[in-house]
Structure 1
Amino acid sequence: MYKQLSRRSIGLLICALFFALPITASAAKAGLYQLKIYHLKDSIQQQAVENYLEQAYLPALHRAGITRVGVFKPFGPVEAGGRKLYVFIPLQSFDQLSKLQSKLDADARYQSAGTAYLRAPHNAPVYERIETILMTPFVKAPEAVVPALKNPKPGRVYELRSYEGPTEMISKNKIDMFNAGDEVGLFKRLGFNAVFYGAVVAGATMPNLMYMTAFEDKADRDLHWKNFGADSQWKQLSARPEYQKNVSKIVSLLLSPAAYSDF
């Protein structure tokens, strides 16, 4: 009896120590992803929102226990109507999201640092609109991962992809292709540095899935996709009859990380 209790105690102690460990710099556990997209009119609005994100919002999220937040902007020259900022937030649950605003409201440091943004007048708003997308992580990739890249952030290229399906069932089939079909494993083997994979549960282009990959630069991104198309595993997977015609539209966006982005 004494030995059994001792083993049980040891087991409980090990579990307690494990769950007390902080989240590492390479991964952020989450049960929900939020992608906020700021639509901006001009460089003045962009600078105002970036100041807010860097000086107020990200520090406040960190204090609220959200240790990794990504901020990205379109890669290359800004095109007409293309001035946007993408904020990627891994969350533990819907409950954490529902309680987040009340935490921000009670954070005096956030309220002070974000005054210019939070109290912008009606005739000088700091953004046009905010779009929000919610996603749940794929079973095969349950964590958001900080990519291990060597190139300085200004030269890196992140790719955000959305795969739209013609129906909910067909879109689920494409998600199954990533999970059971191990398309996630294929991306990992080929070194795509995936940041996240998510099934969209709230957004403007449902049904769809989204994922983000990361590369040292544009040439590195192009080479990876060339290798992907020629890979024998991909050819076999994409030829399987159960995975035919499961994507109706692909939207690909090339992004650059902000200097203060955690991803």
Structure 2
Amino acid sequence: MIYELRIYETVPGRLPDLNNRFSTITLKIWERHGIRQAGFWTTLIGESNMTLYYMLAWESLAERETKWTAFQADPEWHAARAKTEANGPIVAKVTNYILGPTPYSSVK
């Protein structure tokens, strides 16, 4: 398994909108595309309370490429994203990392 860590820094005041979009729209579209989430987190103590962290689990880079590309091209996703951003952008910056577990990791 490989994991993708994605970090979304939101526009001030828009983290609730991003959380709502994931919980009511994005996860359903991901399910249709076979995209598996490994967890979502927000900051309880730390520098910023406007950031969403999440991880996706992939069998391989090839699986990621196929499924993520299909999701990004999905017309339902484009329409939903446009609707949720009618009052302006939600996300100010996205950072992502593709991670592989170490031999001693409890997560493989």
TM-score band w.r.t. shorter chain: 0.7 to 0.9
Structure-to-structure mapping, 1:145-160, within 5 angstroms = 156-160=1-5
Q: 2:51 and 2:91 mapped to 1: Cα distance?
A: 9
Cα contact 1:165–1:248 (8 A) shared by 2: yes
- Match status 1:199 vs 2:42: yes
Larger radius of gyration: 1
Equivalent position of 1:161 in the other structure? 6
How far off is 1:203 after superposition? 2.9
How far off is 1:200 after superposition? 2.5
- Match status 1:248 vs 2:92: yes
2:57 is aligned, of 201, 214, 235, to 214
How far off is 1:242 after superposition? 4.6
* Alignment RMSD: 1.9
Q: 1:175 and 1:246 mapped to 2: Cα distance?
A: 10
Structure with larger RCO (C-alpha < 8 A, sep 6+): 2
Hey, which of these two has a bigger chunk of strand by percent? 2
Cα contact 1:157–1:214 (8 A) shared by 2: yes
Equivalent position of 2:23 in the other structure? 179
How far off is 1:253 after superposition? 0.9
How far off is 1:198 after superposition? 1.9
Q: TM-score, normalised by structure 2?
A: 0.84
Distance 1:262 1:188, change over 3 A: farther
> Which sections of structure 2, spanning at least 5 residues, go unmatched?
none
> Which sections of structure 1, spanning at least 5 residues, go unmatched?
1-155
How far off is 1:209 after superposition? 0.6
How far off is 1:223 after superposition? 1.6
Q: TM-score, normalised by structure 1?
A: 0.37
The one-letter amino acid paired with 1:158 is Y
SS in 2 for 1:226: helix
Would you say how many aligned residue pairs link Structure 1 and Structure 2?
106
Distance 1:251 1:257, change over 3 A: same
Equivalent position of 2:101 in the other structure? 257
Q: 1:191 and 1:200 mapped to 2: Cα distance?
A: 27
Cα contact 2:11–2:89 (8 A) shared by 1: no
Q: 2:60 and 2:32 mapped to 1: Cα distance?
A: 19
